[in-house]
Chains A and B, each alone.
Chain A
């Protein structure tokens, strides 16, 4: 529900943040209890000594409140945080020496079997898998209708993610070229464009040396650049093609500078009818296909502690797995933060001091900007999307994880060079013998009510193009 994203920002209350963090643990406790049908007495408080094995549910946290953002964690630096209900919020060191295979990260909700023999640490014996949400399903009748609508043709979608200029200028020539290809070569049904369109951290903006080429009058504000420069390019996309705009936390044109993030204002951007502005994150359907999109770089930010098979697994697969298991698009907590060390002389101007002492000060640049009381809006609804699109500044990829197609189109423009974008084609659902997977439990006399899993991963083709 996109209206829920219209909340006012810059007003986080610590107690409301804590409520959400507490609830994340307890709601997984309920999910686990229902799924495994454990007797309630097997659950216990891992922070107190006990001679019997218990099941503990909590959040992975660091062993020190002073841990630096970029610290490399290891198996000796993890604690488990309990909920108010499970362990009066205490945090206990984890002993992982008996576990051969794991991947843990800060903020992860986990379910562990083990015991705390001395009261000093919780010795983990077994990791209990978090139950997964189901895949979306659709009835035969609806699938037939969708097939008719798309005349048995594949659905073609372009996905691209900002920035749309290099770091050295604000020249949108490559975007002009893309629109040309959209209209004349690729001719997709849908274009998904993710911000930033105008990146507030662009070096030319930071030092004010910004200039927009080919304009008789320079715009007065950054917001004007979208209207005078970017929107006119976007408007030339064939109006029969639907375009979806999703903001980034770095977008100048967003004044909702927090994640979850409200959609951009289509009227202010002066965009035509075939454009839709969606919040970040969002999920929507194209015919039966459920697409989930989040524009907050979890693939870069999430650094896990691994051992065994997990260690050998592809890192992107591991993180995608975590997102699916945790049921939210940005499960890392605290979120990432980007800072810069600056020479004190410049900074002293701000601090109203005139010392010439050389000391390094930290300037805050950007971050995951989580509005914790509203993190519920970044959770999956009741199913796992068929396709997950989560742009990252890391190298592009498309992978199938737990039968979900996971796509990172990477940046449309890299710092000093062109980047990449994705063309996604999905063939129509095949209802024949070797087609979509039938849901067996759904015993029905009416053939049209038969439910199918979408099997998008078997039908999708992802092509990655150089910008």
Chain B
């Protein structure tokens, strides 16, 4: 039910937690280097300069179009994957993954293909909530205010010491400056993502839930 999906504390949880299962944006440089891009934070693969993303391997600056076109391509591949409609059966002894849908929707058609026998429940493997969250994650990495507050999903796990050693942290002064210098372009990137978020039925569901949450509970 809708109330189960209510997550009133969603805005309180960190991006690291909220976007735990989201896929990184992978950027490809003209030199062939390909790396995960996590916004304005320290990375061993790229640097943010006063005009955008720079590849650490070849020191080339990415053109705006190089970033936005790869971003948009990944968004579209995610939406198309969502629409490929893969389902899975939640009964572990069955566990089929299929694009077949029974006329009952949640009923499993089973390994037999005869739509009886398995009591498992079918669900979309890539749910609309996951897709929505994925788009929100892409939006977050271009959010310079989050970057300033160092609240972006980190590129490296705490345990990934090896990576951390090679990465020089950005000082707060430099971080603030970089955020302002890149704000306009990052807003253009957010514009790309928001074109899709605005067409997502999920966005309006979420607004509804927030509204419900704000309505004070009736006392019996």
Is the CB of A21 closer than 8 A to any CB of chain B? yes
Kindly name the residue among B36, B82, B123 whose own CB sees the greatest number of chain A CB atoms within 10 A: B82
Contacting pair A221 B192 (CB below 8 A) = yes
Contact A89:B103 (CB < 8 A) given known A11-B128, A349-B35, A349-B36: yes
Contacting pair A14 B87 (CB below 8 A) = yes
Shortest distance between the CB of A225 and any CB in chain B (Å): 8
Contact partners of B144 in chain A: CB under 8 A: none
Contacting pair B69 A334 (CB below 8 A) = no
Contact partners of B1 in chain A: CB under 8 A: none
Is the CB of A118 closer than 8 A to any CB of chain B? no
Nearest B residue (CB) for A218: B65
Could you say which of A65, A91, A222, A364 contacts B69, with CB atoms under 8 Å apart? A222
Is the CB of A383 closer than 8 A to any CB of chain B? no
Shortest distance between the CB of A127 and any CB in chain B (Å): 22
Cα A200 to Cα B202 with chains together (Å):
23
Mostly, the B contact residues are mixed
Kindly name the residue among B77, B111, B131 whose own CB sees the greatest number of chain A CB atoms within 10 A: B77
Is the CB of B34 closer than 8 A to any CB of chain A? yes
Q: Which bracket fits the contact residues of B?
A: 35 or more
Contacting pair A208 B98 (CB below 8 A) = no
Contacting pair B106 A14 (CB below 8 A) = yes
Report B172-206 CB contacts with A as 1/0, cut-off 8 Å: 00000000000001001001100110111111110
Could you say which of A206, A349, A352 contacts B73, with CB atoms under 8 Å apart? A206
Is the CB of A219 closer than 8 A to any CB of chain B? yes
Within 8 A of B (CB), among A212-240: 218-223
Nearest B residue (CB) for A363: B77
Is the CB of A10 closer than 8 A to any CB of chain B? yes
Could you say which of B24, B107, B114, B199 contacts A9, with CB atoms under 8 Å apart? B199
Contacting pair A367 B196 (CB below 8 A) = no
Report A290-321 CB contacts with B as 1/0, cut-off 8 Å: 00000000000000000000000000000000
Contact partners of B76 in chain A: CB under 8 A: 200, 257, 366
Contacting pair B192 A223 (CB below 8 A) = yes
Contact A14:B123 (CB < 8 A) given known A61-B113, A90-B116, A372-B85: yes
Nearest A residue (CB) for B198: A255
Contacting pair B104 A334 (CB below 8 A) = no
Cα A63 to Cα B67 with chains together (Å):
45
Cα A349 to Cα B87 with chains together (Å):
25
Cα A205 to Cα B68 with chains together (Å):
9
Kindly name the residue among B24, B79, B202 whose own CB sees the greatest number of chain A CB atoms within 10 A: B79
Could you say which of B68, B105, B116 contacts A222, with CB atoms under 8 Å apart? B68
Supply 20 further A-B pairs (C-beta < 8 A) apart from A69-B99, A222-B65, A334-B84: A8-B203, A14-B105, A14-B122, A18-B103, A21-B103, A47-B114, A62-B100, A65-B96, A65-B98, A66-B98, A79-B114, A81-B102, A89-B107, A200-B72, A205-B70, A209-B30, A221-B65, A334-B99, A352-B157, A366-B80
Residues of chain A having any CB pair with chain B under 8 Å = 7-12, 14-15, 17-19, 21-22, 25, 47, 61-66, 69, 79, 81-84, 89-92, 200-201, 205-211, 218-223, 249, 252, 255-258, 334, 337, 346, 349-352, 363-367, 369-372
CB-defined A-B contacts under 8 Å, sample of 26: A8-B204, A9-B199, A10-B128, A11-B201, A12-B85, A12-B124, A15-B106, A21-B103, A22-B104, A69-B99, A79-B114, A89-B102, A206-B70, A211-B65, A221-B188, A222-B192, A252-B72, A256-B199, A257-B199, A337-B84, A346-B26, A352-B24, A366-B80, A367-B84, A369-B84, A370-B85
